[in-house]
Structure 1
């Protein structure tokens, strides 16, 4: 018995074969399409990359080699080298190299601050300024000096810092030749030559060259002391004053005498120790000072300027310290207490003078006549007898006086003021000594 297998039965019908052939053809076409499509994309990408490279190459700065994709960006960049600033503020006349920078600047005049810090709510005119500010909260310092490892929150600060290592000072004053590491420093310096004082106090009209000086001055009016010592709570108007104060707690003495090796907490103390005297001389009376600030305060004796005013009684003072001491009259504060008798005092100088009653000590001696004093201030005034110095001058007649109190008494000659009045007969006197002599007449009559 033979078995026959039909090959015809296993073959697909004609229609199916035709359909299979069409599918195979389609697959081949699709595969071929994918190949050519992929090739075209690669070719296009290569052409685009080549074009971008050619475009970037054609938009390269010939002065510094920096490249840009767009011609416009190169044109904007070129203004760095040319110094061209075609965009001018219509309100203040300040010019800018980019229109975007002018737009940000205009917010100074409009007061617009569209960028707000999510942590403290402070507003800013520019996004970059906000980003820099946020790093105060995060503590992020992404820009690190490769030489000393110091970190910075802003790139501009790192660039300025690097000039300490390189010694570069790219900003030079055309008038005096002095050079600076930062652009802001030369701007502030130029005000010495121009006399510009852009910061004006709205309360007293006083003008300042620098904002920190203006801010410190404003605290005279507000009474604000923003710089507080974390150890004892004492507050200061200036950061520098707090820094000097901290030496009391830390015991740090960074200023050392080259001759004997003795160290001091403050530079002014070192200068006093070495006998160094800076040449700050009063042009009116010839007195010398080792600090310009001390001369500035001293000049108020001659000018009569008293910028520190008591808000309660209107009394004015030449120094902030004097105003603070005066305020104790109103507050009743007496921080200096005598441990021997329990008496309290508003001023340290009065306390020191009082202590002399108990001790009998007079540690301050005049080198010329040998007279002793319990207070250094009294010795200072006494020395004017020998030197002939009379720093208190009457503006009306030019007469000079050793003591401020003497000038005050003298002024009554011009003003006609007679503050001492006899309660018995009503006669008034300009001086206490005259009043006392007069009172003896009544006392003799009574006896």
Structure 2
């Protein structure tokens, strides 16, 4: 062989290896796009290029593997799988078979891996953590969906309202808002939903299932979102902050309600008396006063209340508990609101002034009650007789004349009274030691 011959072989060898590298790059790019190109039809020369021939054989075998990877096809719906076991798991869906059952809540699954993921709900284990924000998840799929939040990519847009979504499935669910389609129907009550996940959440209202359990106190929840909100009690997290006063809240809804303090908005109106309220709950409780509904009843004296909190405060009367102590004068109170009202006596702040007589008050409610003296309004009417009163407390004391109720008892002699003031007079006259 001449001196030029080895040089020619080395050049061809280098050219062949470069083409192999280009082929590798193309295959790698195709792997990412799940497309597999045919090998280039170049013919290597010389025995020193046997590696290229070997590489083409490798590509051919891999191409054959790719062809058989999706050979396991469901004969009912046509869906294909790369492994036989995945096909077997899929067929169980058609047959309604769920052999893997949770021993804590009874929920069943078609695959053992799904059961393992589900068990983390009960154990509270979240092994899949986001490296960007530290949030953890019980399964890898939820972590992958969460990562899309940081990327910010929302390639699927609604052609009707322009709203964008990270996944096509979410877009499909959203489109039902425009079409009104609700294909997921509850077999027990007939209520329908646009997403299967919403139906699954709803079914727990019938079954009473609470699979999401707090790892710290053991309290169970039917919805995962409710568990996340509950965990803020333990962590002290209050992510929703008022931009006007800086007060923070654990729930977004609580912040929304709080804003009405600054705006003065009272969007909830009573259809019977026209009174407005800032919160829907306040309107609900108010309507009970018109209907005469008092679901919370004292088991000691039979007195009933519209609110459970009022009953709790009332129970302090029987227990003779007065946990709220004024640090200025030492006076005690059974209710927090009475204690706060009393404290204004010491501060001397009376910002609410009557326009008729100039009398000032510490609370707006007190001013409103006072103005009834000028207007003659007596909105609180006795249900037993025609007598009316300008204050609710006066009505309650009066109604005890009809009911015979005497909830205020002397701690010394046991004598009972219809009002706290009557008991106080009795204590001063007959039990002077207690009045000191």
Q: Which bracket does the TM-score occupy, shorter chain normalised?
A: 0.5 to 0.7
Determine if contact 2:407/2:416 at 8 Å carries over to the other structure. no
Which residue matches 2:115? Answer: 102
Structure 2 portions without partners, runs of 5+: 13-42, 276-283, 325-333, 431-436
Go from structure 1 to structure 2 and tell me whether the alpha carbon gap of 1:435 and 1:170 turns closer, same or farther (over 3 Å shift). closer
Structure 2 residue aligned with 1:430, among 407, 416, 423?
416
How far apart in 1 are the matches of 2:141 and 2:426? 77
1:353 aligns with 2:369: yes
- Deviation, structure 1 residue 150: 2.0
- Deviation, structure 1 residue 32: 5.7
- Deviation, structure 1 residue 68: 2.7
Determine if contact 2:410/2:427 at 8 Å carries over to the other structure. no
* CA RMSD across the alignment: 6.0
Structure 2 residue aligned with 1:325, among 324, 333, 337?
337
1:229 aligns with 2:215: no
Which residue matches 2:269? Answer: 269
How far apart in 1 are the matches of 2:197 and 2:147? 22
Which residue matches 2:85? Answer: 72
Which residue matches 1:111? Answer: 124
Which residue matches 1:125? Answer: 138
1:180 aligns with 2:193: yes
Which residue matches 2:253? Answer: 240
How far apart in 2 are the matches of 1:323 and 1:211? 36
TM-score (ref. length: structure 2): 0.56
Determine if contact 2:238/2:250 at 8 Å carries over to the other structure. yes
Determine if contact 1:337/1:351 at 8 Å carries over to the other structure. no
**Aligned pairs (5 A) from 1:250-269:** 266=267, 268-269=268-269
Structure 2 residue aligned with 1:338, among 342, 352, 356?
352
Determine if contact 1:142/1:153 at 8 Å carries over to the other structure. yes
Counterpart secondary structure, 1:160 = helix
Determine if contact 1:89/1:106 at 8 Å carries over to the other structure. yes
Which residue matches 1:15? Answer: none
- Deviation, structure 1 residue 48: 4.6
- Residues 13-35 of structure 1 deviation map (CA, whole Å, 9 limit, x = unaligned): xxxxxx449959x9699716589
- Deviation, structure 1 residue 126: 2.3
- Deviation, structure 1 residue 179: 1.5
Which residue matches 1:85? Answer: 98
- Residues 319-353 of structure 1 deviation map (CA, whole Å, 9 limit, x = unaligned): xxx976356269769887334678553x5423422
Determine if contact 2:184/2:196 at 8 Å carries over to the other structure. yes
How far apart in 2 are the matches of 1:83 and 1:40? 48
Go from structure 1 to structure 2 and tell me whether the alpha carbon gap of 1:183 and 1:367 turns closer, same or farther (over 3 Å shift). same
- Residues 113-141 of structure 1 deviation map (CA, whole Å, 9 limit, x = unaligned): 323344554433223333444555x3725
Structure 1 residue aligned with 2:66, among 47, 52, 55?
52
Determine if contact 2:44/2:52 at 8 Å carries over to the other structure. no
Structure 2 residue aligned with 1:146, among 158, 162, 166?
158
- Residues 242-263 of structure 1 deviation map (CA, whole Å, 9 limit, x = unaligned): 43454566698xxxxxxxxxxx
Aligned length: 356
Determine if contact 1:363/1:372 at 8 Å carries over to the other structure. no
How far apart in 1 are the matches of 2:415 and 2:218? 39
Determine if contact 1:428/1:435 at 8 Å carries over to the other structure. no
How far apart in 2 are the matches of 1:434 and 1:187? 58
Structure number, greater radius of gyration: 1
TM-score (ref. length: structure 1): 0.54
Go from structure 1 to structure 2 and tell me whether the alpha carbon gap of 1:120 and 1:200 turns closer, same or farther (over 3 Å shift). closer
- Deviation, structure 1 residue 185: 3.4
The higher relative CO (CA closer than 8 Å, separation ≥ 6) is in: 2
How far apart in 1 are the matches of 2:235 and 2:250? 10
Determine if contact 2:381/2:388 at 8 Å carries over to the other structure. no
Structure 1 portions without partners, runs of 5+: 1-18, 253-264, 276-287, 316-321, 393-398, 422-426, 442-447
Which residue matches 1:418? Answer: 410
Determine if contact 1:336/1:351 at 8 Å carries over to the other structure. no
